[in-house]
Every structure is written in C-alpha cells, then in structure tokens.
C-alpha cells in the first residue's frame, strides 16, 4: 500500500482524474460539488493492475486553500502531479511542486489532463512546457501521461504509470515509532471519536494506549480502519481512521499528533535548515509573520536566523531557530514548509536538525550529528538521546551516554580526588550518581566499604610515586617526567614495575591505555571501516602528540591494526 497525493493548479483536473481512477469522488462537500472546486482534502483508493493498493489524498489547487493542501501532503510517498494541457504551467503548479520538493517527496508521475480539448500540437507544447519547469526537481525524468478523464482516454495508461512509479517507490519505513498527524477529527455514529491521517514510522494496534499532542490527552484505540476495512493492526504508509476512546472529537484538531507515550520529545523550539525559494523577491529575516507547516498543521512561528547571519537570500540555504506556540512531537529529519502569512507566499522550508537546542542562538551550529548532541550536553541518558535524535545508542557510563571529553574531565577530577584521599579512600556517599558511575568505569579504582581507593595502593610502595599519580590523574594527556624532576633510573624502575607504560618518549598510566582501548573499540563499533588519528584524538579529548603513541601501544598489543591512514579492529580488540 502506498499513499499518493495529487498536486497542481486549480481546475486542472486533479479530482476528476482521481474519480476516473478510483470510481470515488474525492470532493466530499456539497459546496465543493456545487462550485466544482476542491476546498478541503479528499480521499479515495483503488487497486492498480499489478494488484497493489493505492490511496489518494486529493488536494485543492486554489491558492486560498493552500493550507489544506499542505495538511494533506505530509506523510505521502509519492505524487500524481496534474497539469492541464489547455493552460500549461501555472502559479500553483509551481508552488505545489516547490512545496513537494521542500517536504522531501522524491517520486512522482505527471498527468497532462484535458488533452481532449486541444489538438496534438498543443499537447506537445504543453508537454515541453512541463519538462521545462521540472528540470532539476524530483519530477525531472518522471513519466508524462496524456489523459482526458471524462472520456476515459489515457486513464488506463495513468494506472500503469502509477504501478511503475510505485514499483520504484520504497515502502514506508517501520522504526517502531508510529506517528499520525491528524488531518480530520469527527464523530462517527455509534462509535464516538474518529481521527484520520497518514500513518508513518510504525504501527498502531487495537487497544494501544496512545497520547494526543500537544494537549497530552491519553486515549485508547478502540478500532482501526484502513480504506473502510477493519484491522487489528495497521503498519506505516497507510491511510488510517482511528476510533478513539477517552476524548471528544472537538478536543482534537487538524495538526495534532497521535503517538505512543514517552517515545517522543515534544518541543516548541527547534533548529532547522531553511532553503529559501529562488523565486522569492526578498531576503528572509526575523521580521515577518511566518507560519510553519509541520505534519498536518499550520503554526505561527518566530524565526531567528542562526550561525551569525541575520538574513537568508533567495536560492540560498541557511540555519534557523523556530519558536512554536505549542509543543509538537518532532525528530531530526522531519520536514517543514515556511510561508509568510502577510504576503501569503511560500518562502521556503527545510529539515529539522535539533528538537531541543541547548546552545543560545548566537552559538548554535546545528547539524544532524548525534555526536554533536552528546557533546553539547556532556551527559545524556540513553533513552533521552533516542527521543532527541531517533537513533538508539548504548549507554556508555551507567544509564548515560557521555561525551568523551566530559568523561575524561570527570575521570581526571575523580582520580585526583581518590589520589588526594590516599589510603583513607574517597567517601563515595558524597558523590552524585554520575560521579559514581564514572568511578565504576575506572579500572584502577576499587570501591570497598563505601570508599574508593587506587587499586595498586597497597601493593607497591612506588605506586605512591608522584609521577605515577600525576600520570594517572592526567589520563590521556600525561605530563613529561622532566616537568616533575623524575630521573632516568626512577623512570626505568617505574616502567619495570608496570606502574607506567612508555611509548616514543611519552609515559601513560596502564589504566589509561586500557581505557583508550575500550574507547577506540566503541568508536570502531560505530565505524567498522576504521578511524583516523584525528577521530581518536577527539574522542579521547587529547592532542595528536599523545594520541599517536597511544595508538602505537594499541597497535603493538593487537587491539588495533593500521590500514592506510586508519586504524581498524585488531585481533585483541576488547568487547564493548
């Protein structure tokens, strides 16, 4: 099953074509039928020659109802783009195409309608007109099918073209994180509240406990229908009607989201890219009455241009922070369209990058990197990180994912405290959860009787040597022996006893080398094709001067192997 939206200028024959393809009139309202004009979204479906089902979301072409068009095209997989051969390319042909592009739709077929009203030369001219306008867009190279819906000419060809299109359109992905942007909410006789939308990201099942956002209303799924058939469970990529208990239909409006509880970060502030349409005749600045179209909703937003700029020129792409009046369940990768409400023009749109920015607008440089999210927070619980990025990562310390630099700083500080506490030991009760988790991760520290001590404390009198303590405390950036006035004979003795490890004139604590091995192993798990010295240096929060001998030690012990300018897993890579 795929969901396909129509698109194109008013009166070009979208609804008529959907009716010819499905036998269902997508214009549901008396006023629509009377005026011969689509006002709100229409829905229809059919089975294509291959046997594949397809659902259509029929959108209005009139510029006054562009808000309704935007509500319909959110979760769709592909587009049936309609251009009338009688008129050729018109303003909302252009605007709809731009909107579909900005929303990331990548698959489409063009129906050249009303060919019965013009001669063959005009059809050819209209076809060339279309080809001209779609250059460089997702419709570049799309099939253009001549059709005259009332007489049936070309309708079978459109059905075949849709089959070919959907053959090449990937099925909706299932990330077990379902979200339904509500496009209608109404009362169905005898069963109460029903909401409809295009389901993406995962499945809903009967009896699921869900939540309606932004109101945070708890609801339960009483029944599910897709294309008028009841189901126990419906997966992503379907048109869906959800019968809900626990809510009145007036308390849910178009643009609300239906999701599982605790799976989403709800946000009223987000960072995003903004691609400004090349055809706009002015720069985009913070001044203006903007509306963002996200999911099926329209939301007034404040726009702030990031990265040290105050404006974005037509045709350019920049970074913006958007402030919404309500919180929505969003994830990086979600797309939006930005319009100027005053001038009623589409100014651009883009991709959401960060749903919970922590840096002030003057400092924020958002991108899609999960490592950036971790680095900006230092500590983040693994479950929270999944909500913020949509990408699950294992906790590295306790229940947290910790930025390497943050971990190193905490490890150094705690080692210092343990060293200072000497034989008495550091009282763990005085530490918070995070510090305790760091202590647990340190191999050279043992906790006994509520006190933390260095492991080697009792064994070797030389373990109390100031150079050993300094090297252990400094972790991946150890001091040089000269700085502490250690002579060569002492050094040789410390190395012989295994209290420090020497490589290329740098001395490390053995625990630091072990910890480096684990951290490199963790890096390699995410990047099995290898890591560079610079990546290891950054992950360990150290300098190249120290990263090089550390890697030489890891190569020597078989933890890593060199391959060109990268390190890959060696035979003795620790399991992480």
Beta bridge partners of 226: 229
Q: Between 150 and 416, name the residue whose CB sits nearer to ligand GTP.
A: 150
Which partner, Mg ion, ligand GTP, none, binds residue 111 by CB below 5 to 8 Å per kind?
A: none
In whole angstroms, the minimum distance from the beta carbon of 321 to ligand GTP comes to 35
In whole angstroms, the minimum distance from the beta carbon of 105 to ligand GTP comes to 18
Q: Between 149 and 244, name the residue whose CB sits nearer to ligand GTP.
A: 149
- Rounded Cα distance, 56 and 306, in Å: 38
In whole angstroms, the minimum distance from the beta carbon of 86 to ligand GTP comes to 8
In whole angstroms, the minimum distance from the beta carbon of 27 to ligand GTP comes to 7
Q: Between 18 and 330, name the residue whose CB sits nearer to Mg ion.
A: 18
- Rounded Cα distance, 7 and 158, in Å: 15
Count of positions on this chain that bind ligand GTP (CB under 6 A): 22
Count of positions on this chain that bind Mg ion (CB under 5 A): 3
The contact mask relative to ligand GTP for 49-88 (x = CB under 6 A, - = no) is: -----------xxx-------------------x------
In whole angstroms, the minimum distance from the beta carbon of 58 to Mg ion comes to 6
Q: Between 14 and 567, name the residue whose CB sits nearer to Mg ion.
A: 14
Q: Between 62 and 566, name the residue whose CB sits nearer to ligand GTP.
A: 62
φ, ψ dihedrals at 333, nearest 5°: 100, -20
Which partner, ligand GTP, Mg ion, none, binds residue 373 by CB below 5 to 8 Å per kind?
A: none
Beta bridge partners of 305: 320
Which partner, ligand GTP, Mg ion, none, binds residue 36 by CB below 5 to 8 Å per kind?
A: ligand GTP
* Ranges within 10-69 binding Mg ion (CB under 5 A): 14-15, 38
Residues whose CB is less than 8 angstroms from the CB of residue 246 and which lie 6 or more positions away in sequence, other chains included: 217, 218, 219, 220
Determine if residue 228 is left, alpha or beta; phi over 0 gives left, psi from -120 to 50 gives alpha, anything else beta. left
- Rounded Cα distance, 208 and 403, in Å: 36
| Part in contact with ligand GTP (CB under 6 A); list of ranges 7-15, 94-102, 225-233, 471-479 | 7-15
In whole angstroms, the minimum distance from the beta carbon of 266 to ligand GTP comes to 34
Q: Between 31 and 132, name the residue whose CB sits nearer to Mg ion.
A: 31
The residue whose two tokens read 């060919």 is: 115
The residue whose two tokens read 């007489």 is: 151
Q: Between 158 and 322, name the residue whose CB sits nearer to ligand GTP.
A: 158
String of DSSP letters for 363-424: T----S-HHHHHHHHSEEEHHHHHHHHS-----SBTTEEE-HHHHHHHHHHHHHHHHHHGGG
In whole angstroms, the minimum distance from the beta carbon of 11 to Mg ion comes to 8
Q: Are 550 and 513 in contact (CB under 8 A)?
A: yes
| Part in contact with ligand GTP (CB under 6 A); list of ranges 10-18, 216-224, 334-342, 354-362 | 10-18
In whole angstroms, the minimum distance from the beta carbon of 146 to ligand GTP comes to 9
The residue whose two tokens read 């090297």 is: 471
- Rounded Cα distance, 156 and 17, in Å: 11
Q: Are 546 and 480 in contact (CB under 8 A)?
A: no
In whole angstroms, the minimum distance from the beta carbon of 31 to ligand GTP comes to 12
Q: Are 304 and 263 in contact (CB under 8 A)?
A: no
3-state secondary structure of 78: strand
3-state secondary structure of 570: coil
Burial class (CB in 10 A: 0-12, 13-18, 19+), 450: exposed
3-state secondary structure of 112: strand
- Rounded Cα distance, 127 and 163, in Å: 21
For 233, the token pair is 């469970």
- Rounded Cα distance, 300 and 253, in Å: 16
Task: Find, among 11, 172, 7, 9, the residue nearest to 99 by Cα.
Answer: 7
Strand ranges for 504-559 from DSSP E: 506-508, 531-532
The contact mask relative to ligand GTP for 508-537 (x = CB under 6 A, - = no) is: ------------------------------
Q: Between 24 and 462, name the residue whose CB sits nearer to ligand GTP.
A: 24
Q: Between 37 and 125, name the residue whose CB sits nearer to ligand GTP.
A: 37
The contact mask relative to ligand GTP for 89-118 (x = CB under 6 A, - = no) is: ------------------------xx-xx-
Q: Between 68 and 273, name the residue whose CB sits nearer to Mg ion.
A: 68
* Ranges within 12-41 binding ligand GTP (CB under 6 A): 12-16, 36-38
* Ranges within 196-215 binding Mg ion (CB under 5 A): none
Q: Between 109 and 147, name the residue whose CB sits nearer to ligand GTP.
A: 147
**What Å distances lie between residue 173 and 52, 178, 541, CA to CA?**
18, 10, 37
* Ranges within 128-187 binding ligand GTP (CB under 6 A): 147-150
Q: How far apart are the first and last CA of the chain?
A: 41
Which partner, Mg ion, ligand GTP, none, binds residue 329 by CB below 5 to 8 Å per kind?
A: none
Q: Binding residues for Mg ion, per CB under 5 A? A: 14-15, 38
Q: Binding residues for ligand GTP, per CB under 6 A? A: 10-16, 36-38, 60-62, 82, 113-114, 116-117, 147-150
């Amino acid at each position: 099953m795929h969901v396909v939206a129509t698109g194109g200028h008013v009166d070009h024959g979208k609804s008529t074509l959907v009716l010819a393809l499905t036998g269902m009139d997508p214009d549901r309202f008396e006023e629509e039928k009377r005026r011969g004009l689509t006002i709100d979204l229409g829905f229809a479906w059919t089975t294509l020659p291959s046997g594949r089902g397809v659902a259509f979301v029929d959108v209005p072409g009139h510029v006054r109802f562009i808000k309704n068009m935007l509500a319909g095209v959110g979760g769709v997989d592909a587009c049936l783009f309609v251009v009338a051969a009688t008129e050729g390319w018109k303003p909302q042909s252009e605007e709809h195409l731009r909107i579909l592009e900005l929303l990331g739709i990548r698959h489409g077929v063009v129906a050249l309608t009303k060919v019965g009203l013009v001669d063959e030369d005009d059809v050819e001219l209209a076809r060339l007109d279309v080809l001209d306008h779609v250059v460089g867009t997702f419709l570049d190279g799309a099939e253009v099918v001549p059709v005259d819906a009332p007489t049936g000419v070309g309708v079978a060809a459109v059905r075949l073209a849709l089959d070919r299109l959907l053959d090449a359109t990937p099925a909706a992905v299932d990330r077990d994180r379902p979200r339904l942007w509500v496009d209608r909410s109404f009362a169905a006789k005898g069963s109460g509240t029903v909401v409809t939308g295009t389901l993406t990201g995962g499945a809903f099942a009967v009896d699921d406990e869900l939540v309606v956002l932004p109101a945070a209303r708890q609801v339960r799924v009483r029944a599910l229908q897709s294309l008028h058939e009841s189901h126990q469970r419906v997966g992503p990529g379907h048109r869906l009607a959800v019968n809900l208990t626990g809510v009145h239909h007036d308390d849910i409006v178009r643009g609300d989201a239906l999701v599982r509880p605790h799976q989403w970060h709800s946000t009223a502030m987000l960072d995003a890219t903004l691609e400004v349409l090349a055809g706009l005749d002015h720069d985009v600045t913070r001044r203006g009455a903007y509306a963002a179209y996200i999911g099926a909703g329209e939301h007034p937003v404040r726009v702030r241009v990031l990265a040290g700029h105050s404006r974005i020129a037509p045709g350019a792409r920049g970074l913006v922070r958007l402030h919404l009046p309500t919180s929505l369940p969003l994830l990086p990768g979600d797309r939006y369209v930005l319009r100027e409400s005053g001038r009623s023009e589409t100014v651009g749109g883009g991709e959401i990058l960060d749903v919970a920015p922590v840096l002030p607008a003057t400092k924020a440089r958002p991108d899609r990197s999960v490592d950036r999210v971790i680095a900006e927070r230092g500590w983040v619980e693994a479950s929270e990180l999944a909500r913020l990025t949509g990408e699950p990562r294992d906790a590295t310390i306790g229940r947290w994912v910790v930025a390497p630099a943050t971990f190193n700083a905490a490890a150094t500080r705690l080692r210092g405290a343990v060293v200072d506490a000497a034989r008495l030991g550091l009282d763990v009760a005085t530490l918070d959860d995070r510090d305790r988790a760091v202590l647990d991760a340190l191999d050279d520290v043992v906790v006994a009787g509520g006190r933390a001590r260095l492991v080697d404390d009792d064994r070797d009198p030389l373990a109390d040597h100031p150079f050993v303590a300094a090297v252990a405390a400094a972790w991946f950036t150890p001091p040089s022996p000269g700085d502490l006035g250690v002579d060569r004979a002492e050094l040789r003795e410390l190395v012989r006893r295994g209290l420090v490890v020497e490589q290329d004139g740098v001395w490390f604590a053995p625990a630091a080398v072990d910890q480096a091995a684990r951290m490199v192993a963790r890096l390699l798990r995410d990047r099995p094709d290898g890591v560079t010295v610079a990546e290891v240096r950054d992950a360990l929060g150290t300098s190249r001067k120290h990263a090089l001998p550390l890697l030489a030690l890891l190569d020597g012990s078989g933890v890593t192997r060199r391959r060109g300018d990268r390190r890959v897993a060696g035979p003795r890579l620790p399991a992480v």
